Amino acid sequence: MSFSIAGKTAVVTGAANGVGLAIARHFVARGANVMFADMDEERLIEEIGAVEDDDEGTTGYFAGDLREKLNVANLLSATLDRFDRVDILVNGSRQMLAADPLNADDDAVTTLLNQNLMTSLRLCQIFSKRMIKQAEATEGNAPVGSIINLSSIAARRTQPHLLAYSVSSAAVDQLTRSMAVALAPHRIRVNAIALGSVMSASLKGALAEHEEFRDEILDSTPLNRIAAPSELAEVAQFLASNGSGFMTGQILTVDGGRTLVDAVDAPAH
C-alpha cells in the first residue's frame, strides 16, 4: 500500500497560513505539484518563496476571494495553465465566528455558510468536472481524484455561541457524504477531516488574548495537548493517496480524543 502523492497535482485553499499552509507545504515536500490559493497575496508570495522549488517548478499560487464564483473558475484555469491537470483538491479555507444565538442577527450564519459550505461546494463542482474529464481518458477502475474537505468536531457538539460554525461544519460533513456518492461512479473520492484543537492562526490569536483557554483545551483533550498543523497534513496525505483508495464519504476525526469525553458545556477553541 502506497501513500505516495509524488507527481500528482493538488490545489489547496486557505494556503496562506495555518492548516492549509501546512498541508500545501507537506504536499510539496512529498513531491506533489501544488497550487497555493488564498485571499492574502502578500503571504502567498512570501510562502511560495520559502518553499524549495525544483528546476521544473512544483508550486504556483492564486490570490482571490473564492466566495466569488468567477474566482473559483479562475483558480481552475490558473491550475490548468500551470500544471495541465488536477488530481487533489483540499478545501482548507474556513472561518469561525462566535455570537450569542439569542441576540445576534443572521449575519454570522450567512457568512459561515457562504465561506465554509458554499465555497467548498462550488470548488467541488468545478474541480470534479475536470477530474471526470481526466478519468474519461484513463482506463481501469483505480481512483482518479481525491477531494478533502476540512470540517470540525463542532458539527457534533452543542455549543450555542458557536451555532453558525457548528451548522456550517455539519453542512460540510453532509456535503462530503453527498458528493462522495455522486462522484463515486467517476472514480473520485470525497472525504473530510474533522478537526479538534489545532494551533492555527486563529487559535494563536485567541490564546494571546485569553491564555486561560490553553488550560481549558488541555483539560478537555485526553492526549493533553494541542495538535500541530503538520499533523493534519499527514492525515491529508493519507486521504489524497491511493493508500486510502477504498475510502470515500468518511469524516476522519482528529481531535486528541476530545469528542470521547467532552461535556456539553466544555469550552470550544
CATH number at residue 163: 3.40.50.720
- Closest alpha carbon to 63 in 114, 15, 7: 15
Whether 251 maps to a domain, the answer reads: yes
pLDDT digits (tens, 9 = 90+) for 88-145: 999 999 888 777 777 766 688 889 899 999 999 999 999 999 999 998 888 777 788 9
Per-chain mean pLDDT for the chain = 90
Range(s) of the domain holding residue 18? 9-261
Whether 211 maps to a domain, the answer reads: yes
Give Cα 239 distance to the centre of its chain: 11
pLDDT digits (tens, 9 = 90+) for 178-232: 999 999 999 999 999 999 999 887 788 778 888 888 888 999 899 999 999 999 9
Whether 222 maps to a domain, the answer reads: yes
Whether 156 maps to a domain, the answer reads: yes
Is the per-residue pLDDT at 80 higher than 80? Answer: yes
Whether 105 maps to a domain, the answer reads: yes
52 vs 48: CA distance, rounded Å: 8
| pLDDT for position 103 | 72
Whether 175 maps to a domain, the answer reads: yes
Tell me if the pTM is above 0.85. yes
Q: What are the CA-CA distances from residue 120 to residues 12, 232, 246 (Å)?
A: 11, 18, 23
Whether 269 maps to a domain, the answer reads: no
What domain count does the chain have? Answer: 1
Neighbouring residues of 128: CB distance < 8 A, sequence distance ≥ 6: 145, 147, 179, 183, 186, 188
Q: Where are the alpha helices (DSSP H) in 137-200?
A: 163-183
In terms of Cβ atoms closer than 10 Å to its own Cβ (0-12, 13-18, 19+), residue 263 is exposed
